[in-house]
A and B are shown apart, each in its own frame.
Chain A
Amino acid sequence: MKSLIKKLVETVGPSGYESKIREVIRGEVELYADEISVDAMGNLIVKKGQKKKGGLRVMLSAHIDEIGVMVTHVDKNGFARFTTIGGVRPHTCYGSRVRFLDGTVGVIGGERLENANHVHAIEAMYIDVGATSVEDCPVKIGDVAAFDRPFEDLGNRLVSKAMDDRVCAAVLIETLKNVKNSPHELYFVFSTQEEVGLRGATTAAYSIDPDLGIASDVTMTGDTPRGIKMEVALGKGPAIKVKDGGMLADPKVVDAMVQCAKKHEIPYQLEVLLGGTTDAKAMQISRAGMPAGCVSVPTRYVHTPSEMVDINDLNNAVKLLTAFISEPIKLA
């Protein structure tokens, strides 16, 4: 699991430019899939199993894009101005390093601040790739980069950029490997462009037209010094989403997941997240609507280049999802 996560998080794939990470994941799932397709938005859709008696058509979604930056202008001295892709916050930028799709590395610097206690606005920062002019600058307008930070194994706790949401891609990959004799027709969707507005899941949900939608994504935690008020903590199990900023999970789905966790003695937490949302929102309101829910992985420092997760939560998320989709799902 740890080596799979390392491989996934260290691949560059900002929203809209997921081809590399998609190929890495394709390599991982090929042996276990009945059918694999890539749609117009670049979603990797892995089908497994046929609908049997009492079964449903189930879409599971984990997004493979990550937040990043795009170059807007290279000035005459070779400094690259940039805009953000997804929810990049300015205070995580200054001094960070970014890696472009072609491997070029740059450091983010900023204009002089009048007050050193202030944070640089995105417009007041630039990427320095070591160039001295437009001509010798290896990047140009429209080039895309992700934050660059190595994967660190701290024992139970793992730290990296892009844990959001590659850890859940790993959870889906492991679930796909584990699931046997499911009564359901399963679609594992490794979705694109989540960070810019759930765009991949929107079109995948339309094409697949499932009976039930389940997302897997990271969620925040309330277990850090003077942090946000939130029940979810690292290491206490996957979080079954009740509500977030964009979706009220179907109570029947929440209940079925809770019953499943209890039955298999898998630790779990209930999640009420005030901001943010997941692919489950897009699924819930696709076509005529569908029951939807989400299994979340508690994560500290979300949308920084050092997101922290607990390996036990990941293993338990795999157990919970595997158990959940291996049995008939009662949504009465």
Chain B
Amino acid sequence: MKNNEILSQIPEIGEEQIKLLEKLSNAVSVSGDESEVRGIVMEEIKDFADEVRVDALGNILVTRKAKVDDPVRVMIAAHMDEVGFMLVDDEGEGLFKFEIVGGIDNRQLVGKPVLVGKDKLPGVIGAKPIHLTTADERKNPIPLDSLRIDVGPGNSKKCKVGDRATFATRFETWGPSLVGKALDDRLGVATLIELVKHTPENIELLAAFTVQEENGLRGARIAAYSMNPEVAFVLDSTPANDLPVWDDEENGRYNVKLNHGPAIYRLDAATLSDPRLINHLVKVGDEFEIPYQFRQPGKGGTDAGAIHKQRGGIPSVSISVPGRYAHTAVLIARKEDWKNTMRLIYASLCKFSRDLLLADR
């Protein structure tokens, strides 16, 4: 396929896609109970998938056949779950003790509205107001076991221990920005839905909408084992820490920057990306003049950490949409970065051939 044909076929990120992202962002799907997002994804893909299966852990495994003989089998993963809370003790009068599911900084909790359970009952993580705190108390973060989710006596019987909760943030767009909770990784999910709807004809697409990424890459592990692909790409979201620093020095720990394009991974705590795939993404980015950036090598991990170690090894790389304030009540991403992520993954798939894997890593 010629480059200008590829460019003309890149799936659009327009109003319709942003509407879908809104629905996905507002859904409550804390790790281990991803049913709401799963429902939305199933509805979106059902008319496009050649095969669909929900596995034992709740991953959606989709196959889209290629239009060529002996196509390369490419897995693309995006996780459906999000960080959040679980009610662990009912103390009566609508007060619940809770635990954090996945990684959330305690200091992000106080005073935040939340939604509890499948019925999305409103609640709040309450704390003593400033009138009643001492100067010493205000110096320290409030420990988790002193915090409660307060749903009030009216709804206390409608939620129970074991129910999940999330921040109550509703999705919005602010000019060029996408603003909402759980955009890590609903941005990846929304991108993957578009790829299922518009699959490049040269590959067999194995789309994995995974569960339980935030509590240890658990869904991706079994998804990769059963799909047994030749190569894997992971679509995720990674924190942009690109604000000015307090002493006006150069910010050398930005991780990634907004508006600098999709972030390609080289090293995180779980994966050393396959250099052949990094080079491929870079080459395609340069050729098609799609902006991209490298995520600063360091901590963290994506589904690739589990995928690349399955069976005899699966060459893997991750691409993330940058987002400020990840794992808090609000994440801010840019439409342009999402569009460029779509462009980069789509063009890279169109340009992908098995020959890339014939050279030794």
A residues near B (Cβ < 8 Å) are: 15-17, 19, 22, 38-43, 70-73, 75-76, 81, 83, 85, 123, 141-142, 193, 196, 199-200, 202-204, 206-207
User: A39-B312, A203-B313, A207-B311 in contact; A72/B250 too (CB < 8 A)?
Assistant: no
Nearest chain B CB to A286's CB is how many angstroms away?
10
Closest CB pairs A-B (n = 9)? A16-B272, A203-B313, A40-B313, A207-B312, A42-B361, A41-B313, A142-B266, A73-B252, A38-B360
Contact status of A40 and B312, CB under 8 A, knowing A15-B272, A73-B253, A83-B267: yes
Evaluate contact between B296 and A72: CB separation under 8 angstroms.
yes
Instruction: Check B298 for interface membership: any CB of A closer than 8 A.
Output: yes
**A193 close to B361 (CB less than 8 A):** no
Given contacts A17-B275, A40-B312, A199-B308, contact A85 B252 (CB under 8 A): no
Cross-chain contact B297 with A40 (CB below 8 angstroms): no
Can you report 14 residue pairs joining A to B where beta carbons are below 8 Å apart?
A39-B312, A40-B314, A41-B361, A43-B313, A71-B297, A72-B297, A83-B298, A123-B253, A141-B294, A141-B297, A142-B267, A199-B309, A203-B309, A206-B313
Q: Does B315 contact A (CB under 8 A)?
A: yes
**What are the residues of chain A within 8 A of B315 when measuring CB–CB?**
40
**Beyond A17-B275, A141-B294, A142-B297, is A81–B252 a contact (Cβ under 8 Å)?**
yes
The CA of A238 and the CA of B321, in the complex, are separated in Å by 50
CB pair B361 A19 closer than 8 Å: yes
**Which A residues are in CB contact (< 8 Å) with B313?**
39-41, 43, 200, 203-204, 206-207
Question: What is the 8 Å Cβ interface bit string for chain B, positions 300-326, against chain A (1 contact, 0 not)?
Answer: 000000001111111100000000000
Q: What residue in chain B is nearest A196 (Cβ atoms)?
A: B272
- Closest chain-B Cβ to A198's Cβ sits at a distance in Å of 9
Expressed in whole angstroms, the Cα–Cα distance for A85 and B254 within the complex equals 20
Q: Is the CB of B267 within 8 A of A16?
A: yes
Does A203 lie within 8 Å of B272, measured CB to CB?
no
Are B272's CB and A193's CB within 8 A? yes
Total number of residue pairs linking A and B with CB closer than 8 Å:
80
Among B278, B311, B314, max chain A CB count under 10 A is at: B311
Chain A residues with CB under 8 A of B296:
72-73, 83, 141
Q: Smallest Cβ distance from A219 to chain B, in angstroms?
A: 25
**Nearest-neighbor residue (CB-CB) of B250 within chain A:** A75
> Min CB distance, B217 to chain A, in Å?
13
Chain B residues, CB < 8 A from A142: 266-267, 278, 294, 297
Once the chains are docked, how many angstroms separate the CA of A41 from the CA of B313?
6
Point out the residues of chain A lying under 8 angstroms from B250, CB to CB: 75-76
Which residue of A16, A70, A75, A202 is within 8 Å of B252 (Cβ)?
Answer: A75
A42 touches which of B252, B297, B360 (Cβ 8 Å): B360
B: number of interface residues (CB 8 Å): 25
Residues of B within 8 A of A72 (CB): 252-253, 296-298
Query: For the complex, what is the distance from the CA of A19 to the CA of B360, rounded to whole Å?
Result: 8
Alpha-carbon gap, A73 to B252, bound state (A): 6
| In the complex, chain B residues whose CB is within 8 Å of the CB of A70 | 266-267, 297
CB distance from A150 to the nearest CB of B (A): 27
- Chain B contact residues: over half helix, strand or loop, or mixed? loop
The answer to whether A203 and B267 touch across the interface, beta carbons within 8 angstroms, is no
* B residues near A42, Cβ cutoff 8 Å: 360-361
Q: Which residue of A lies closest to B309 (CB)?
A: A202
Give the residue among A19, A41, A85, A142 with the most B Cβ atoms within 10 A.
A142
Which chain B residues border A199 with CB–CB below 8 Å? 272, 308-309
A170 to B154, CA, bound (A): 72
Complex CA–CA separation, A15 to B272 (angstroms): 8
B308 to nearest A CB, angstroms? 7
A70–B295 Cα distance when bound, in Å, is 12
Closest to A69 in B: B297
Minimum CB–CB distance from A193 to chain B (whole Å) comes to 6
Instruction: With CB as the reference atom, state the residue of chain A lying closest to B316.
Output: A40
Report the separation of the CA atoms of residues A123 and B296 in the bound assembly, to the nearest whole angstrom: 13
Interfacial chain B residues near A75, Cβ < 8 Å = 250, 252
Q: Inside 8 A of A83's CB, which chain B residues have their CB?
A: 267, 296-298
CA distance A326 to B12 in the complex (A): 63
Given contacts A71-B297, A73-B252, A141-B294, contact A40 B309 (CB under 8 A): no
| Given A17-B275, A142-B297, A200-B313: 8 more A-B contacts, CB < 8 Å | A19-B360, A22-B360, A71-B297, A72-B252, A72-B253, A81-B252, A199-B272, A203-B313
Nearest CB to that of A141 among chain B residues? Answer: B294
B238 shortest CB reach to chain A, Å = 14
How far is B118's CA from A313's CA once the two chains are assembled, in angstroms?
A: 64
Kindly identify which residue among B267, B272, B311, B360 contacts A206, using a CB–CB cutoff of 8 Å.
B311
**A83 CA to B253 CA, complexed, in Å:** 11
- Alpha-carbon distance A17/B298, docked complex (angstroms): 16
- Distance, CA A200 to CA B272, complexed state (A): 11
Instruction: Give the residue name and chain of the A residue nearest to B272 (CB).
Output: A16
Report the separation of the CA atoms of residues A123 and B297 in the bound assembly, to the nearest whole angstrom: 12
Contacts of B254 in A (CB 8 A): 73
Q: Which of B256-298 contact A (CB under 8 A)?
A: 266-267, 272, 274-275, 278, 294, 296-298
Within 8 A of A (CB), among B339-361: 357, 360-361
Residues of chain A contacted by B253 (CB below 8 angstroms) = 72-73, 81, 123
CB distance from A212 to the nearest CB of B (A): 19
Q: Tell me the bound Cα distance from A325 to B294 in angstroms.
A: 46
Q: Which of B184-221 contact A (CB under 8 A)?
A: none
